[in-house]
Amino acid sequence: MKAIEINSKTDKTGHLKIDYQLDRSDSKVRIIILIDDINTEQDEEQLWLSSISNNPAFDFLKDSSEDIYSNNDGEPFND
């Protein structure tokens, strides 16, 4: 099981931004989220791929001048 800890603050009515009622109003809270390990490797890979594909640091790869190789380059790999 994985745990995610989030520090947050409740609003004046005692609600978190995730809209969960607490008995305390206008106070700091600590939130712990537990996630089952089932399929987390696949979920983490999908999250990584999504993050990197939307990262502006790699926008230069969208430039056609970066396409220096084609499917005809290189030799087939036969294992």
Rg of the chain taking only CA atoms, in angstroms: 23
Q: How far apart are CA 51 and CA 59, in angstroms?
A: 13
On whether the pTM is more than 0.75, the answer is no
The secondary structure of 29-67, three-state, reads: EEEEEEECCCCHHHHHHHHHHHHHHCCHHHHHHHCHHHC
pLDDT, tens only, 21-69: 777 888 887 878 776 666 667 778 888 888 888 888 888 888 888 888 8
Structural domain spans, the chain? 1-46
Amino acid at 4: I
According to DSSP, the residues that pair with 5 across neighbouring strands are 32
